[in-house]
Amino acid sequence: MTSDLFAQIGARIRAALAASAPAVPEDVLARIEVSPPREAAHGDMASNVAMVAAKAAGMPPRALADALAKALATVPEIAAAEVAGPGFLNIRLRPAALHAVIPAILAAGEAYGDSEIGTGQRVNVEYVSANPTGPMHIGHCRGAVVGDALANLLAKAGFDVTREYYINDAGAQVTALAWAAYWRYLQAIGSEIAAEDFAARAPSGLQYRGDYLIAVGAALAENHGRSLAAADGGIAPPEHWLETVRDFAIAAMMAGIREDLARLGVRPDVFTSERALVASGAVEAVIGRLAQAGLIYEGVLEPPKGKLPEDWEPREQTLFRATRFGDDVDRPLRKSDGSATYFANDIAYHADKIGRGFRTLIDVWGADHGGYVARLRAAITALAGDGATLDVLLCQIVHVLKGGQPVRMSKRAGSFVTLRDLIEEVGRDVVRFIMLTRKNDAQMEFDLDQAVAETRENPVFYVQYAHARARSVLRHAAEQGFPTTPEALASVALESLTDPAELALIRRLAGWPRLVEGAARAHEPHRIAFFLYDLASDFHILWNRGREAATLRFIQPERPAETSARLALVAAMAVVIRSGLAVMGVAPVEEMR
């Protein structure tokens, strides 16, 4: 029998349905849900079985619910099944069914909640993918945490996950980086050219002026001396130095990004270079595939919305028939100079992922790329039909507060909150946890003061405190001679766990496997943070009940049986917190200082 109590009762419900209506098809059975009731007074679980299966069973929902309730009343784990409203089933479990959750957790350890729903399915999760033009800032941080936690969550649900970083090392932004690094190089060799004069010579001005490039310029000077500069120490022709400086600067930026990601606990399995992809001929190959399929033509687009006709220069372009696959307009694949657009490069990149055997693609982007989703999905449908799916998680902006005031950031000026600064300020685990306390598409405020506060309003502290309290209880119990190993506690009698607060905590623990599967299917790792906060709240409530009523204290030397039962519950709660924190990439705290 499964250690997932909700799945166990779900199997009982399906068996009862099969006895009453054997012809219900699989697609209807798949829509049957077993979930916590909206109100605790309604029981331990609720099911929509009669509502979704009534038509296929050829019975009114209420009549089917009545028949199922009678059948379920004979199931050993079920104390009562009641019909509510138009045909919902409310189920009350016997205490023994709830108690059985505890030894199941202790036997499984942190693997409790592991699922097989993803078995055999390869998933590519691409996240961060920041342009290698500077250090990672807090905006990149949110996508990094969301993507990494989602990858952990999918792995726990049984999927074969590859974590990938796409290096945007082609195009105008890395050329601008090279010019900025060259300016720092000229400074390092003693050139006195002013920033404004240099910017006037650079194709796109001097976009990146942050101090982080000073070390890059110094390293270039150390490696190349004055050989990259003109004879007078000024700007040499770009063909003399551009490729060398660009490659050096990209490598330096990526080395820093890798270090920052490691500080955050993020270690991608694969780094894919856009420049290498273009050089391999993959872009031209994918354009050829689309052309062969009749999905490319030469045409003129309508003016963009909001632009006056005189602002628009109509010209013939190579266009992809994106509207055939649900996009608003057809999309250009080549620029006026004949080179491929960024979109064409991106199609080639995703075609490469599909070619590597991935059928589920998940991209984590900044919210400013929201308008890009429909065209990329159109391209993937054109290339793979129903053979591949793309889900894009858009991460909204993070506002950093300190002392109630916003902390400004500006990447080009260099006066931004870097990821490294943030981790040094509050710690890696705090950063990761807080980044998951809002759904990715909701804006959030990262309050630096609250992040280190020891209050219930700080979810990191609240959850970590619950785990530390549990570990403290187990240490004190061991000092008094009580068995506290998972093996010993898995076999203790649990009949004494009857208080409503104890049963509420067990119900919460029982919901962990269901939560993992639901969050994995929805690609919503923030649900883990919400669950852990609620679990910690249930535990703290039970802790406080023990302070108010001596009979509910965890350790009572004069009542060894009751003490052992409560120690088993405490240990199980700590296991589930560690299991959840592992998905979030956060280390549990053994004791609070």
Per-residue tokens: 223: 């490696």
Q: Is the pLDDT of residue 171 over 70?
A: yes
Q: What is the pLDDT of residue 310?
A: 62
Q: Is the pLDDT of residue 410 over 80?
A: no
| Residue 273 CA from chain centroid, whole number | 23
Q: What is the pLDDT of residue 240?
A: 97
Q: Flag whether 398 is in a domain.
A: no
The residue ranges of DSSP E strands in 396-479, in sequence order, are 398-402, 405-406, 444-447
Q: Is the pLDDT of residue 286 over 80?
A: yes
Q: What is the pLDDT of residue 514?
A: 97
Mean per-residue pLDDT over the chain, rounded: 93
- Contact criterion met (CB below 8 Å) for 198 and 206: yes
- Contact criterion met (CB below 8 Å) for 14 and 89: no
Domain edge (last residue) among 36, 66, 93:
93
Q: Flag whether 573 is in a domain.
A: yes
Element (H, E) at 35: strand 34-35
Q: What is the pLDDT of residue 409?
A: 52
Q: What is the pLDDT of residue 210?
A: 85
Q: Is the pLDDT of residue 207 over 60?
A: yes
Averaged pLDDT, 398-424: 75
Per-residue tokens: 540: 């703290």
Q: Is the pLDDT of residue 414 over 80?
A: no
pLDDT band at 311 (very low <50, low <70, confident <90, very high): low
- Eight-state DSSP code of residue 42: G
**Residue 371, CA atoms < 13 Å, CB-side half-sphere:** 4
- Contact criterion met (CB below 8 Å) for 321 and 256: no
pLDDT tens column, 114-161 = 999 999 899 999 999 989 999 998 889 999 999 999 999 999 999 999
Angle at 248 between CA 245 and CA 249, to 5 degrees: 80
**Cβ contacts of 551 within 8 Å, gap of 6 or more:** none
- How big is the chain by its Cα radius of gyration, in Å? 29
**Residue 251, CA atoms < 13 Å, CB-side half-sphere:** 9
Number of domains in the chain: 2
Question: 495 lies in which domain range?
Answer: 455-584
Portion of the chain with pLDDT greater than 90, in percent: 84
**Cβ contacts of 302 within 8 Å, gap of 6 or more:** 329
**At 244, is the secondary structure helix, strand, or coil?**
helix
pLDDT band at 20 (very low <50, low <70, confident <90, very high): confident
- Contact criterion met (CB below 8 Å) for 290 and 450: no
Q: Flag whether 27 is in a domain.
A: yes
Q: What is the pLDDT of residue 335?
A: 85
pLDDT tens column, 352-403 = 999 999 999 999 999 999 999 999 999 999 999 999 999 999 999 899 998 8
- Residue 192 burial by Cβ neighbours in a 10 Å radius (0-12, 13-18, 19+): exposed
CATH number, domain at 55? Answer: 3.30.1360.70
d(CA 538, CA 502): 9
- Residue 82 burial by Cβ neighbours in a 10 Å radius (0-12, 13-18, 19+): middle
Q: Is the pLDDT of residue 306 over 70?
A: no
Q: Flag whether 476 is in a domain.
A: yes
Averaged pLDDT, 90-96: 96
Least confident range of 53-67, 166-180, 266-280, 407-421: 407-421
Q: Is the pLDDT of residue 282 over 80?
A: yes
d(CA 251, CA 240): 19
Tell which wins on pLDDT, 546 or 93: 93
Q: Flag whether 269 is in a domain.
A: no
Per-residue tokens: 387: 């053979």
Q: What is the pLDDT of residue 563?
A: 97
CATH number, domain at 480? Answer: 1.10.730.10
Q: Is the pLDDT of residue 415 over 70?
A: no
- Eight-state DSSP code of residue 120: T
- Contact criterion met (CB below 8 Å) for 513 and 113: yes
Averaged pLDDT, 73-99: 95
Nearest to 161 by CA among 152, 172, 170, 149: 152
Portion of the chain with pLDDT greater than 70, in percent: 97
Per-residue tokens: 467: 């785990």
Q: Flag whether 32 is in a domain.
A: yes
Angle at 537 between CA 5 and CA 102, to 5 degrees: 30
Q: Flag whether 86 is in a domain.
A: yes
- Contact criterion met (CB below 8 Å) for 345 and 278: yes
Count Cβ atoms below 10 Å from residue 72 Cβ, excluding itself.
22
Least confident range of 19-23, 82-86, 101-105: 19-23
Domain edge (last residue) among 71, 93, 115:
93
Q: What is the pLDDT of residue 319?
A: 95
Q: What is the pLDDT of residue 209?
A: 86
- Contact criterion met (CB below 8 Å) for 248 and 241: no
Q: What is the pLDDT of residue 413?
A: 38
Q: Is the pLDDT of residue 312 over 80?
A: no
Q: Is the pLDDT of residue 309 over 80?
A: no
Least confident range of 23-37, 407-421, 562-576: 407-421
Q: Is the pLDDT of residue 167 over 60?
A: yes
Nearest to 380 by CA among 272, 286, 284, 275: 286
Domain edge (last residue) among 67, 93, 119:
93
Q: Flag whether 64 is in a domain.
A: yes
Q: What is the pLDDT of residue 302?
A: 81
